[in-house]
C-alpha cells in the first residue's frame, strides 16, 4: 500500500525551510510514497488548502529562502475563524484522515512543536523538524535558519563598523531573539561587537556606558552595541521575572484566568518596547557624550537564500525524518545530535526552551576578549 506523507511549515519563516521540504519530499518519493503539502501552516490543513509536491516542484527549491508552502502562526486549538477564535482540532484531524495520511511532518519552532504535540496526543502520526533563526528549540543541538541569520547579522555589524569608526559614533544594532540571545551573541562575537546584550543576562546601563567610556579613554571613539530584541535591563528583568513566576504558579494551580493575565502582561511589556534600541541609544548618548545611531536588522535576518550549512542541516534532518517514518516512529522531533540525528519524543521537547546557559563557553569567550555583556 502506498504511504501518504503530509508536510506543513508553521511559525516565522526561516532560511532552509525549502531545503527541508525538498529533502523530505525527495526521499519520500524515492521510497514510493506520495507527498502533499499544506499551505500556510495548520490553517491550510484546517481549510484543506494543499499543494502537490512532486519531483518538478521539489527540484528547484533548494536555494530558495522562505517557504514555498507559506506559513502562519495559527494554532489548531485557537484559530481565528470568521471573527471568533475557535478550536479547530477536530476539523484538522478529519482532514488528516481525508487525505489518508500515514504521517504529517510539521516544520517549525517552539510553538509548532507544542501544537504538533497536541495533535499527536489526538492520535495523529506526527513528526517535527526544528527550525528557527532564534535557535531556541530544546533537545536539539541546533535549528536550521540560525546559521544563515547569524551570517547576515555578522555582515551587517561588519559594515556598521566602518561607518561608526568614521563618525566616532556608537551604533546600537538590534537583532531578533526575544528569549534567547544565540543570534546576538554569535554575530556579536563573530563581528567583534564591543557590547553584547542578551536576554539571559540582565544589563546595567551604567556598566554599558562605563565600557564605552573606557574605550574613549584609550582613544577609541566608536563602539558597536549588539543587542537582542529581548535583552532586558536589571529592573525590567525583575518585572518580567515576577510575571513569569505568576504565570508558572497559575499554571500549576490550573488557574487559567491568572495565567492568561500574566501572559497578557508579558506581551504588553514587549509590545510597548518597540523602540528599545532607540531608548538604549539615547541613554548612551547622554551618558557618554558620543553621538549614537540605531540599526534594527529585523526581518532581513530571516530573508533570502540559506547558507550551505543550513541547507545541509535541513537535508540531514529531512531525510532522517523519512527514515524514522519508515521505522514506524511518530510523536517525535528529528533533532540534530553531533553529526547525526536523534528522534526525541515530543513530550521531552515541549515546555522547554534552549537558552544560553550561565557560564556557556561563548559567554566565557566574549568576556575573555573584553566584550562587555552589561553585567560587569
Binding segment for ligand F6P among 52-60, 126-134, 289-297, 317-325 (CB under 6 A)?
126-134
Say how far apart CA 364 and CA 357 lie, in whole Å: 11
Going by the DSSP 8-state scheme, the letter that residue 304 receives in this structure is: S
Going by the DSSP 8-state scheme, the letter that residue 305 receives in this structure is: P
The residue among 267, 195, 270, 200 whose CA lies nearest residue 231 is: 200
Say how far apart CA 274 and CA 263 lie, in whole Å: 18
Give the nearer residue to ligand F6P in terms of CB position, either 124 or 137.
137
Say how far apart CA 333 and CA 237 lie, in whole Å: 31
Of the candidates 15, 16, 66, 109, which one interacts with ligand F6P according to CB under 6 A?
A: 109
Of the candidates 52, 159, 168, 178, which one interacts with ligand F6P according to CB under 6 A?
A: 178
Binding segment for ligand F6P among 47-55, 132-140, 188-196, 237-245 (CB under 6 A)?
132-140
Catalytically active residues, by annotation: 134
Other beta carbons less than 10 A from residue 47's beta carbon = 18
Count of residues in contact with ligand F6P, rule CB under 6 A? 11
What is the pairing mode between strands 126-130 and 195-197? unpaired
Cβ atoms 133, 66 nearer than 8 A: no
Nearest distance in Å: CB 269, ligand F6P: 14
Of the candidates 74, 134, 151, 194, which one interacts with ligand F6P according to CB under 6 A?
A: 134
Q: Assess 174 for contact with ligand F6P (CB under 6 A).
A: no
Of the candidates 12, 41, 66, 306, which one interacts with ligand F6P according to CB under 6 A?
A: 12
Give the nearer residue to ligand F6P in terms of CB position, either 99 or 276.
276
Q: Assess 181 for contact with ligand F6P (CB under 6 A).
A: no
Q: Assess 125 for contact with ligand F6P (CB under 6 A).
A: no
Say how far apart CA 315 and CA 306 lie, in whole Å: 12
Nearest distance in Å: CB 183, ligand F6P: 8
Q: State which H helix or E strand residue 54 sits in.
A: none
Residue in the shown chain whose Cβ atom is closest to ligand F6P: 12
Q: How far is CA 292 from the centre of its chain?
A: 29
Nearest distance in Å: CB 185, ligand F6P: 14
Q: Assess 132 for contact with ligand F6P (CB under 6 A).
A: yes
Q: Assess 302 for contact with ligand F6P (CB under 6 A).
A: yes
| DSSP class per residue in 157-211 | HHHHHHHHHHHTEEEEEEES-SS--HHHHHHHHHTT-SEEE-TTS-B-HHHHHHH
Residues forming beta bridges with residue 48, ordered by sequence position: none
Nearest distance in Å: CB 244, ligand F6P: 17
Of residues 190-229, which lie at the interface with ligand F6P (CB under 6 A)? 229
Residues that bind ligand F6P (CB under 6 A): 11-12, 109, 132-134, 176-178, 229, 302
Amino acid at each position: 500500500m502506498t504511504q501518504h506523507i503530509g508536510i506543513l511549515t508553521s511559525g516565522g519563516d526561516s532560511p532552509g525551510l525549502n531545503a527541508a521540504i525538498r529533502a523530505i519530499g525527495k526521499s519520500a518519493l524515492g521510497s514510493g510514497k506520495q507527498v502533499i503539502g499544506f499551505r500556510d501552516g495548520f490553517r491550510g490543513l484546517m481549510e484543506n488548502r494543499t499543494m502537490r509536491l512532486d519531483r518538478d516542484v521539489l527540484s528547484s527549491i533548494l536555494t530558495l529562502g522562505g517557504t514555498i508552502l507559506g506559513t502562519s502562526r495559527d494554532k489548531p486549538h485557537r484559530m481565528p475563524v470568521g471573527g471568533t477564535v475557535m478550536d479547530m482540532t477536530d476539523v484538522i484531524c478529519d482532514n488528516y484522515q481525508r487525505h489518508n495520511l500515514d504521517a504529517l511532518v510539521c516544520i517549525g519552532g517552539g510553538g509548532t512543536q507544542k501544537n504538533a504535540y497536541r495533535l499527536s496526543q489526538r492520535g495523529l502520526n506526527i513528526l517535527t523538524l526544528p527550525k528557527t533563526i532564534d535557535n531556541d528549540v530544546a533537545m536539539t543541538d541546533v535549528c536550521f535558519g540560525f546559521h544563515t541569520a547569524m551570517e547576515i547579522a555578522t555582515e551587517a555589524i561588519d559594515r556598521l563598523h566602518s561607518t561608526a569608526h568614521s563618525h566616532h559614533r556608537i551604533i546600537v544594532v538590534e537583532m531578533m531573539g526575544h528569549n534567547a540571545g544565540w543570534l546576538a551573541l554569535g554575530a556579536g562575537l563573530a563581528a567583534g561587537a564591543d557590547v553584547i546584550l542578551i536576554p539571559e543576562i540582565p544589563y546595567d546601563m551604567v556598566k554599558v556606558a562605563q565600557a564605552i567610556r573606557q574605550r574613549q579613554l584609550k582613544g577609541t571613539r566608536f563602539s558597536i552595541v549588539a543587542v537582542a530584541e529581548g535583552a532586558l535591563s536589571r529592573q525590567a528583568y525583575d518585572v518580567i521575572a515576577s510575571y513569569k513566576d505568576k504565570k508558572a504558579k497559575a499554571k500549576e494551580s490550573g488557574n487559567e484566568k491568572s495565567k492568561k493575565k500574566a501572559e497578557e502582561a508579558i506581551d504588553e511589556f514587549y509590545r510597548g518596547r518597540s523602540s528599545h534600541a532607540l531608548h538604549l541609544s539615547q541613554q548612551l548618548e547622554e551618558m557618554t557624550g558620543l553621538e549614537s545611531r540605531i540599526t534594527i536588522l529585523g526581518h532581513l535576518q530571516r530573508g533570502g537564500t540559506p547558507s550551505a550549512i543550513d541547507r545541509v542541516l535541513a537535508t540531514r534532518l529531512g531525510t532522517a525524518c523519512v527514515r524514522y517514518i519508515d521505522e514506524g516512529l511518530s510523536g517525535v522531533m528529528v533533532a540534530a545530535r553531533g553529526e547525526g540525528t536523534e528522534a526525541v519524543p515530543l513530550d521531552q521537547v515541549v515546555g522547554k526552551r534552549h537558552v544560553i546557559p550561565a557560564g556557556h563557553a561563548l559567554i566565557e569567550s566574549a568576556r575573555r576578549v573584553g566584550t562587555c555583556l552589561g553585567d560587569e
